[in-house]
Amino acid sequence: MSADHTVANGRPAPLLRADGVTSGYGGEPVVRDVSISVGRGEIVAIIGPNGAGKSTLLKTLVGILRARNGRVFIGSEDVTNHAPEDLARRGVGYVPQVNDIFEPLTVQENLEMGGYLLAADRIRERVDEVIRVFPALAPMLKRRADKLSGGERKMLAIARVLMLDPAVLILDEPTANLSPKLADSLLRDHIRRLANLDKAVLLVEQRARAALEVAAWTLVLVSGATRLEGRPGELLGRQDFEELFLGAGTGPTRPAPTLPSPATGGGKPEEEENA
């Protein structure tokens, strides 16, 4: 990341930017006036309780949901409400929280579909390149995707999206349903490595502490609106953030915290939330 690509607050120039986005599923908006950006080589995490609108925001950014208000930009180009296939062509890769692979297809076929926009010979090369990033997938190329374990499945979902070598990666709760060990490995090893490859990574994560550990910038979404944002270190020092997510007396050795639900005021265990 070169110096001329950075802006005044030390963050890289935005590659993906949303300004004042409002969206939902009909009726009252789920996300209201949210602005967020992510630059090359940067990991930005969105955290918040269940129902905060995190996934809705991501779906709006990737064109699955229409933005009622606000604009979305890739670089300087306005891509608000562009179709998902158009955003894929422009270098936006998206891994949804659920339904993140083509279950009836083999691992190899999933990767081929991930690279649908590439020429046929380039697809073969790219499969080899992506398998080098996730070597665990190599022996299971002929296996049906619905036979994979949770961790293998998530690896495949990310590998599939890497087929087009996207500049922006949008990951919706990639650690959902994974064991704590696998979740840590995915966040600390793989997702960090993607940012090191100069990709802009926008991440929704239920494990607030884990998200803070890998993210360069964090946005806290509550009831569809931005409550807080900043560098993880700055947020950790704020009393309102500590009270909202981490509780009193947090420390580095505490287990990963659970996010409270605004409806109940308390949180379910994170594995239940991810079910």
Q: In the complex, which residues of this chain contact other proteins (CB under 8 A)?
A: 62, 64, 83-85, 87-89, 93-94, 96, 99-106, 109, 112-114, 116-117, 120, 142-145, 147, 160, 164
Query: Between residues 25 and 247, which has the closer beta carbon with respect to other proteins?
Result: 25
Q: Are 72 and 78 in contact (CB under 8 A)?
A: yes
Please state, in angstroms and rounded to a whole number, the distance separating the CA atoms of residues 226 and 260: 16
Query: Between residues 61 and 259, which has the closer beta carbon with respect to other proteins?
Result: 61
Query: Between residues 94 and 217, which has the closer beta carbon with respect to other proteins?
Result: 94
- Would you give the DSSP letter of residue 106? B
Please state, in angstroms and rounded to a whole number, the distance separating the CA atoms of residues 163 and 158: 9
Contacts of 35 (CB under 8 A, 6+ apart): 17, 18, 19, 20, 21, 70, 226
Query: Between residues 204 and 222, which has the closer beta carbon with respect to other proteins?
Result: 204
Q: Are 56 and 23 in contact (CB under 8 A)?
A: yes
Write out the two tokens for 92: 């936006």
DSSP per-residue string spanning 120-188: HHHHHHHHHHHHHHSGGGGGGTTSBGGGS-HHHHHHHHHHHHHTT--SEEEEE-TTTTS-HHHHHHIII
Least separation in angstroms between residue 201's CB and other proteins is 16
| Three-state secondary structure call for residue 237 | coil
Least separation in angstroms between residue 22's CB and other proteins is 21
Least separation in angstroms between residue 7's CB and other proteins is 29
Q: What CA–CA distances, in Å, run from 115 to 15, 28, 62, 109?
A: 22, 37, 17, 10
Least separation in angstroms between residue 6's CB and other proteins is 30
Query: Between residues 21 and 61, which has the closer beta carbon with respect to other proteins?
Result: 61
| Three-state secondary structure call for residue 58 | helix
Query: Between residues 101 and 194, which has the closer beta carbon with respect to other proteins?
Result: 101
Least separation in angstroms between residue 255's CB and other proteins is 33
Least separation in angstroms between residue 84's CB and other proteins is 4
Write out the two tokens for 185: 């490995």
Query: Between residues 31 and 156, which has the closer beta carbon with respect to other proteins?
Result: 156
Least separation in angstroms between residue 85's CB and other proteins is 5
